[in-house]
Structure 1
């Protein structure tokens, strides 16, 4: 499979865009995009969504095709994936149908994993801690969540998360807009 960073670079070049133009379209820095295209920087799913939107492709363009039923995602159809260079593991839980507005995923954060940058994007995010602990910063406010606790916020507010434990943290995450 062709690596995500290679697909981004090739698609950008095919469209005749410079890194500066892609940066202006995505509000991501030229330096960051350059590192992404070289495969030397981690890439959050929200940043990949901005890049995909700017390049006029669906997020699925960057991943192998997944098969799923219309309304259900059975255990055998649950495919885990990671965004290249990012330690977070995702399992897509949403069904597939026209007009779908929610994206639900099981998210696993590695021990001591911490976002190094703040993210913001249109939509909403909901995170429920299944296992472990989550520190999440939203609009300069820090929240510590334990198993069974949740947070729901407008994702236009700058946010980042952290797993403060020496074990995995598992989240049920539901967000808008649809990513895949």
Structure 2
């Protein structure tokens, strides 16, 4: 029984991978394979067991051989491939993939030119977290002014008026933003 479960799971994952790879909808594959769309959806989600007569029809609908459909899915490339982005004298290198909602991590380099806070400190929804790798980070939170050194981390509510820059030279840090913080820091 275990071997059947493995094959069923493997085909289910491979079916979805191939369908998405070829940019096909459930409806398109269902039509091409002459399998009801709800049945196909349940096959992909594991709510229905795969029958042997499904294999050649699904393979044909995806223009692959049955062997290709039975093959284990290829592992997704784990590397994050996105270019840097510079905004307000800070260069951001993404360390996570862009997904809807959720947290995003960046390596940042704050230019030595970023020394003077704006007249009005920004406030927005969310939470920011930073870990300083090198240099000395200047962090203003409300009326308080902090110097954050390498090896130190800070976490703060972005509802507090805030700004960060450098003390004397460039700063490198790892930062995590929620979706609201990311929009403000990268796109404002």
TM-score (structure 2 length as normaliser): 0.50
CA distance in 2, matches of 1:137, 1:73: 34
Task: Give the corresponding residue for 1:113.
Answer: 114
Go from structure 1 to structure 2 and tell me whether the alpha carbon gap of 1:147 and 1:71 turns closer, same or farther (over 3 Å shift): farther
Shift of 1:138: 0.8
Counterparts of 2:91 and 2:136 in 1: how far apart (Å)?
16
Aligned to 1:156: 159
Q: 2:105 is matched with which residue? A: 104
Counterpart for residue 31 of structure 1: none
CA gap 1:71/1:176 in 2 versus in 1, 3 angstroms? farther
Instruction: Considering fraction of residues, name the structure with more helix.
Output: 2
Count of aligned residue pairs for this structure pair:
106
* 2:85 equivalent in structure 1: 81
CA distance in 2, matches of 1:163, 1:110: 8
Whole-Å separation in 2 of the counterparts to 1:71 and 1:106? 20
CA deviations over 1:46-79 (Å, ceiling 9, x no partner): xxxxxxxxxxxxxxxxxxxxxxxx89444xx141
Q: CA RMSD in A?
A: 2.4
Question: Larger Rg: 1 or 2?
Answer: 2
Tell me, in whole angstroms, the C-alpha distance in 2 between the residues paired with 1:73 and 1:126: 23
Per-residue deviation, residues 1-39 of structure 1 (Å, max 9, x unmatched): xxxxxxxxxxxxxxxxxxxxxxxxxxxxxxxxxxxxxxx
Distance 1:71 1:122, change over 3 A: farther
Measure how far apart 1:137 and its partner are. 0.8
Structure 2 unmatched runs, 5+? 1-75, 184-188
Moved over 4 A (4+): none
